[in-house]
Amino acid sequence: MQRSRVYLDSGGAAPLSDRVADALRAGFADGWADPARLGSESRRARALLDGSRDAVADALGARPELVHFTASPHAAFNRAIAGIHAARRGRHRILVSAIERDALLNAAAFVAPHAVDTVDGDREGHVSIEHLTAALRSNDVALAAVQHANQELGTVQRLEDVARATQAAGVPLLVDATSSIGHIDPPTYWDALVAHPADWGGPAGIGVLALEPHTRWLPAWPEGDDWAPGGISVPLALASAVALQERNEHRQREGARLSALVDRIRARAAELTGVDVLGDPDERVPHIVTFSCLYVDGEVLLSELDRRGFAVGSGSACVSGTLEPSRVLAAVGALTHGNVRVALHPGVTEQDVDRFLAELPDALAAVRSRIGAPHIAS
């Protein structure tokens, strides 16, 4: 009998629950009209959109009028960086941590060519507050961007310390919360924040950008465009809000359960010879763990696990969609090949993890044998 598939690759692409799927269908049924128009159908769509924005703002601890839906998290990064940078006239440099997403780094490089400075961190993925503080002493810094949690390592940044440094320097702080919202408490310290509904079990094709009331920005895009040129899909916004509400209703219980499962994966992976478990074991989101495997090609290992019924990610693929060596893992001094990233969602059971851990050693041995690697006992 063929075993059921186990999906362990929910970072940035979590399955939709029945409740969220129902909300998506309801959005298409009742929110199909252009919310910018004046007819009854459009007013109904506008009410759904406004209610969705209110719900997301409440979850973020933000003001609804300062929460904007965008076409994607990438678009949110582009708008946030361009708008804040434009308002910081006379200041050009952008500070980023060494483990930021490619989407953020690409947006920063486009807005400030040759003026993006990288702040290093430690092996567990924490940005160096000492290096950040030193970099902020420049009078030419327009903004700083630091993640809330890293999408590969799972490490949660110490944003209170980060914000203390940026506030002392009078520099706006953009927080990438695309891997944390819906999993842990939202960050308290930020001037602009980007979130990703698909990561918390919402649909793809939409992003969230939130601003604090004091955050200054100027339009750095064509006249007539706003934060989301062309408008936003009401069904996607509604489903995103419902997904976030559902996650937050069960977040404490599910977070503890998934964290315990991740602890088991971390412990078992660490027992395997030639395997290095990455990220902070304590200051982390509850659902992500990445480990690197010596003498293993990441693509081959992912294919082997997929053949055995497990969909997992790779630290080499989760940023840019390629299987090139991971820039994030290189930045923390980890092995950049043979990486497995497990990202759990609420539908993952203890039995699913049992199966995965039972299959992992044999899958590793099979891949190593296939490429003629030295024998490593597990």
The answer to whether residue 377 is domain-embedded is no
CA atoms within 13 A on the CB side of 134: 9
Instruction: Give the domain-ending residue among 248, 264, 296.
Output: 248
The answer to whether residue 1 is domain-embedded is no
Segments forming the whole domain that contains residue 289: 6-15+251-370
Same domain, 300 and 204: no
Q: What pLDDT was estimated at residue 323?
A: 54
Q: What pLDDT was estimated at residue 320?
A: 47
CATH number of the domain within which 169 lies: 3.40.640.10
> What's the rounded Cα separation, in Å, for the pair 240 and 208?
10
Same domain, 282 and 319: yes
The answer to whether residue 65 is domain-embedded is yes
Same domain, 336 and 235: no
Same domain, 355 and 323: yes
Return the bridge partners of 96, or none. 118, 145
Same domain, 237 and 171: yes
DSSP string, 277-326: E-S-SSSB-TTEEEEEETT--HHHHHHHHHHTTEEEB-TTTTTTSS-SPP
Instruction: Give the domain-ending residue among 248, 279, 304.
Output: 248
Considering only the C-alpha atoms of the chain, give the largest distance between any 2 of them, rounded to a whole number of Å: 70
**Domains: count for the chain:** 2
Reduced to 3 states (helix: H, G, I; strand: E, B; else coil), residue 181 is strand
The answer to whether residue 378 is domain-embedded is no
CA atoms within 13 A on the CB side of 215: 25
The answer to whether residue 376 is domain-embedded is no
Mean per-residue pLDDT pooled into runs of 10, the chain (378 residues): 83 96 97 93 96 98 97 96 95 96 96 95 95 96 97 96 97 98 97 98 97 96 84 96 97 97 97 95 97 88 95 67 73 86 97 97 92 61
In 3D space, the residue among 96, 113, 112 whose CA is nearest the CA of residue 104 turns out to be 96
Tokens standing for residue 149: 């949690």
Query: From the CB of residue 83, how many other CB atoms can be counted at a distance below 10 Å?
Result: 21
Same domain, 41 and 128: yes
CATH number of the domain within which 330 lies: 3.90.1150.10
Same domain, 309 and 283: yes
Same domain, 205 and 305: no
Same domain, 255 and 182: no
Instruction: Give the domain-ending residue among 216, 248, 280.
Output: 248
Q: What pLDDT was estimated at residue 174?
A: 98
Q: What pLDDT was estimated at residue 373?
A: 65
Write the burial class of residue 115 (CB in 10 Å: 0-12 exposed, 13-18 middle, 19+ buried).
middle
**Distinct helix (H) and strand (E) counts, the chain:** 11, 12
Same domain, 274 and 156: no
